[in-house]
Amino acid sequence: MRLKAVFPVVVLLFTAAGILFAAPGLRWSTSLDTIVSTGDTRYLMEEPAGGFSSELIFPLNTLMAGVTIRRDLSGARPGSYLEAQVSTNLLAPFGKMVDYDWWMYPGYPKVPWSYTESDARLFGVSAALYWKPVLANHSWGNFGASFGYRFKYYYHEAIGFNGWQYADVYIDAVNDAEDGWYTMAVGVDDPRLGITYWVMYNFPTAGLSLTLKPQAGFSLHGEAGLAVAYASDEDDHVLRNKLSTASGLGFGGYLDLSVRFTWGNPNARLHPFIALSANALALKANVLQKQTWYGDDPASTSVIEQPGDSITGLDHQISTRQFGVALTGGIKF
């Protein structure tokens, strides 16, 4: 699924960028980006009729590296440009994948019955293409718009699980009158691969920007906007022989802030630059999930599941909250 999902989108984005950037006589820049990323991608599934709820949180705390290509626009106000970006993670995520489960009773708060943590593996790719026209130039900087298309794909593996669950336990008490089955919290620990999960976000964005230029070669840039996201995910509970899928539309927003310093002779063709930026992104989609078994579920003792058995129409929320700080170095030609 990794290659099938990711590379056609990245190739399409950079093909489009290559066509758009191909106009002769325009200045362009290229840079290398080092990004410290934090946040998570998660899903919340609820089935009030069945009396259960589950939330899985996958960490996105990692170090990423990427490339940015920017091309000035001719026939537009100075400062307008096209930009393409791609990045991927270099390290496994810091932190654990966590899994919460609750019982649900009508008219009462949810009651937790399980909590586990797992070691996490991650393969992530982000790509984007932007058109950023300047709407008005001033001596102090400019005011502009931003239109973009972003793509984010994350593949996770949850290795092992450790935590607690409520379970029915038979107690052989000293006093025979107290013998019997009791529901109590017990520790759980299993080293096996428990879950594979991928999630994909495709989302166009639209926003406004403000750039301040207090002195030559130094600029401050701020941008904020909204996003319409198409989110899809797939959760394979390997130990339960169960595959869960969902997709649908959602909404979100973003905020970008950056400081950029360019040096060198103003009349020279090459201008090196460095930039420090911070960004935030939030997306959420309320959709419906389908669960399909491809074998008997060991966690279910009352039913023997057959391959193809399924449940549909489960309330399912896919969401992500991401924060990043990037150090960028590059050259403008």
| CATH number of the domain residue 154 falls in | 2.40.128.90
pLDDT of the residue at 185: 81
pLDDT digits (tens, 9 = 90+) for 157-169: 999 999 999 877 7
69 neighbors 28 (Cβ within 8 angstroms): yes
SS3 (DSSP) at 215: strand
Question: Using CA atoms in the order 158, 160, 164, 170, what is the torsion angle rounded to 10 degrees?
Answer: 130
Q: How many domains does the chain have?
A: 1
- Domain containing 198 equals 2-332
pLDDT of the residue at 16: 54
SS3 (DSSP) at 4: helix
pLDDT of the residue at 167: 79
pLDDT digits (tens, 9 = 90+) for 39-76: 999 999 998 877 899 999 999 999 999 999 999 887 76
Backbone angles phi, psi at 61, to 5 degrees: -80, 105
Q: Rounded to whole angstroms, how far apart are CA atoms 61 and 96?
A: 10
| Spans of the chain, pLDDT less than 70 | 1-26, 76, 173-178, 266
117 neighbors 4 (Cβ within 8 angstroms): no
